[in-house]
Amino acid sequence: MASDNKSSLDNMLQAVLSVANQEQSMFYSPRIYSDQYNVVTSLLLSELVKNFPKNPMLIDLLDPFVEVKQIPATNGFIQLPDNYRDILGSPVVFANPDNNGECGSPEPLTAQNFRTGILKAGCKLNPIVITSQSEFAYLTRSTYNAPNYENPIGFFSGKKQIKVCPYDVTKVGVMFARNEKVVRYGYIQNPDDTFFFDPATSIESEWGSNSFTPIFNSLVALYGAWSRDPDITNWASVLKNGIL
């Protein structure tokens, strides 16, 4: 039975093959299809992250890959999780923290209250302005406008490390896009060189149905370029201008 998720591996393959007017056979093998799906996933995530600050509504597409964590700060540094891929928006600190770096007994930090900056308990969140290292050094020397809980700053001191100021910050809230899984289309091959989907040996896509259009357009473009099918090679222009 087909998955209800339009962006699932098998549903998407059937959609691509219907446009190409091809049967499900080893001509377009599951290995090639899986590789192309993984390429599209990486490209689409990069595009969504790049455009997120200008269009916060993209959070709906990004949602399967979004995590929000409160990360302890040690000596002014926070270490981002191993599965961190890209930052989304600004990290935040609690404006009126208690001894635990929190604000009373707030609701769990979620993507929703992270974006609004308001917790049910009335805790105020202030965004950390990410600067360059040189600007960070300059601002921390200021005698009249030094960073504080109302105006915290930070800079990336490594791919997965952020230096923050004020230095007594104990926790930082971070919303980020995590690394994606590498999908695999599992299958059982028939004697006539056709195959059918095997969910037991598959690693399924994490995208939701709302991501169908950009993934479908991109996969058709890649299929056209790979197969050199003159009827669909014009789809290749989709990737040239981005896939959103």
- Dihedral class, residue 193 (left if φ above 0, else alpha if ψ from -120 to 50, else beta): left
- CA proximity to 30, closest of 235, 239, 209, 188: 188
Q: Sketch the domain layout of the chain as residue ranges.
A: 10-52+181-240, 65-178
Q: What is the mean pLDDT of residues 203-227?
A: 92
Q: What is the mean pLDDT of the chain?
A: 85
pTM: 0.82
In the prediction, which pLDDT does 81 show?
96
Q: Which tens digit of pLDDT belongs to each residue from 85-128?
A: 999 989 998 765 554 555 544 455 555 555 554 444 456 788 99
